[in-house]
Amino acid sequence: MTDTDLIVIGAGPAGVAATVMAVSLGMTVRLIEQDQVGGKLHHIGALDNVPGNWTTGPDLAAALAADLERIAPTNLVRRITGTAIGVTADDEQAHVLLADQSRFHASAVIAATGVTTLSPADADWITAPDGLWPAPLWRTAPAEMNGAIWVLGADRPLGTWLRAHPRVERTLNVLCPPEDDYKAAEVAGDPRVNLVRCTTAGIYPARNGARKIMVRDRSGAPRQYIAGTLLGNLGNRPAALPGLGQGPDGYCPAEFQHPRMLTAGDLRSARFQRIVTAQGSGAEAALARYYDSALVRG
């Protein structure tokens, strides 16, 4: 048996909000994070939709880390560095297994592991060598880009990257399949973007570490390009842990979960991938568990 009320997996905006809310209600929490507090916030160079005049993600991540420091003296929260590889639940408890084979048990678990970047192997319009996984555009600084820059996919981080680097005058050649057309609309007016609308693309090795890109354009005509820098911008898939209930799209909404397993943040749905909604859902999950348990009745 365990005396822990809640395990929270992931210390991004959702997991931190869940932890702060749970501790404020007197719950004991184990917070498991494999990397650093703040999650994706560390990669948001320009921010304008979070209340409180936050202009960069790292600043907000530092505020979340400070929140965890502020509640540390309660001794209600224990932070654990590790990667969760599975969750289960039974009538009595929820259980979490980490990659180092350590196990944690609690009355309930909140999974807030967010989303992970898609690779070319996940995109049916791309043919690429096995194991090719270009660096994500959103993690790449201008100084890391050499030669002609080619970007696979026109997902939304393209606009974020351009806003974060307003003075960079390099051209981003962006391969845009038909399903990305509606997202490309928001960057189409930026002179730094060369949208190459295509139906398929093949990536092949070229000399000196470059890549040859063979494209079928929308009329079916073949085109060929050389990329000095190849970057990925194909979107995300949910970082769903084995044991969580998944919908047909792979996401993990609340209604697919065991009563002792809750989900929060980007992991729930492709529709709500925003910082504020992640925070709200984290706090909501902790509140739901509190009012659903005997805790509230003392």
Ligand X SMILES: Cc1cc2nc3c(=O)[nH]c(=O)nc-3n(C[C@H](O)[C@H](O)[C@H](O)COP(=O)(O)OP(=O)(O)OC[C@H]3O[C@@H](n4cnc5c(N)ncnc54)[C@H](O)[C@@H]3O)c2cc1C
**88 near ligand X, rule: CB under 6 A:** no
CB 252, min distance to ligand X, A = 11
Stretch that binds ligand X, among 28-36, 87-95, 101-109, 248-256 (CB under 6 A): 28-36
Q: Output the furthest CA–CA distance in the chain (Å, rounded).
A: 71
Beta bridge mates, 224: 214
Which residue, among 196, 228, 224, has the nearest Cα to 211 in the 3D structure?
Answer: 228
- 5, 31, 33, 152: residue in contact with ligand X (rule CB under 6 A): 33
**187 near ligand X, rule: CB under 6 A:** no
Q: Provide the residue count of the chain.
A: 298
**235 near ligand X, rule: CB under 6 A:** no
**159 near ligand X, rule: CB under 6 A:** no
User: Among positive and negative, which fits the CA dihedral 9, 13, 19, 25?
Assistant: negative
User: In the chain, which ranges are continuous DSSP H helix?
Assistant: 13-24, 57-71, 157-164, 181-184, 275-292
Q: Which is nearer to ligand X, 28 or 160 (CB)?
A: 160
**260 near ligand X, rule: CB under 6 A:** no
Q: Which is nearer to ligand X, 136 or 213 (CB)?
A: 136
Do the bridges between strand 193-205 and strand 172-176 make them parallel or antiparallel, or are there none, so unpaired?
Answer: parallel
Stretch that binds ligand X, among 8-16, 118-126, 242-250, 251-259 (CB under 6 A): 8-16
Q: Which is nearer to ligand X, 184 or 241 (CB)?
A: 241
Give the 3-state DSSP-derived string for 209-267, with helices as H, strands as E and coil as C: HCEEEEEEECCCCEEEEEECEEEECCCEEECCCCCCCCCCCCCCCHHHCCCCEEECHHH
Q: Which is nearer to ligand X, 39 or 198 (CB)?
A: 39
Q: Which is nearer to ligand X, 202 or 280 (CB)?
A: 280
CB 22, min distance to ligand X, A = 15
Neighbours of 252 (CB within 10 A): 25
Q: Phi/psi class of residue 10: alpha, beta or left (left: φ > 0; alpha: ψ in -120 to 50)?
A: left
User: Among positive and negative, which fits the CA dihedral 46, 52, 58, 64?
Assistant: negative
Query: Which residues, 99 to 158, sit near ligand X by CB under 6 A?
Result: 112-114, 138, 157
**238 near ligand X, rule: CB under 6 A:** no
**47 near ligand X, rule: CB under 6 A:** yes
Query: Which residues, 198 to 227, sit near ligand X by CB under 6 A?
Result: none
Q: Which is nearer to ligand X, 198 or 269 (CB)?
A: 269
Q: Which is nearer to ligand X, 83 or 200 (CB)?
A: 83
């979960």: which residue's tokens?
257
Amino acid type, 276: V
Stretch that binds ligand X, among 30-38, 69-77, 195-203, 224-232 (CB under 6 A): 30-38
CA dist 172 and 191 (Å) reads 9
């919908």: which residue's tokens?
247
- 265, 284, 289, 290: residue in contact with ligand X (rule CB under 6 A): 265
Footprint of ligand X on this chain (CB under 6 A)? 9-15, 32-35, 39-41, 43-44, 47, 49, 83-84, 112-114, 138, 157, 160, 239, 241, 265-266, 273-275, 278
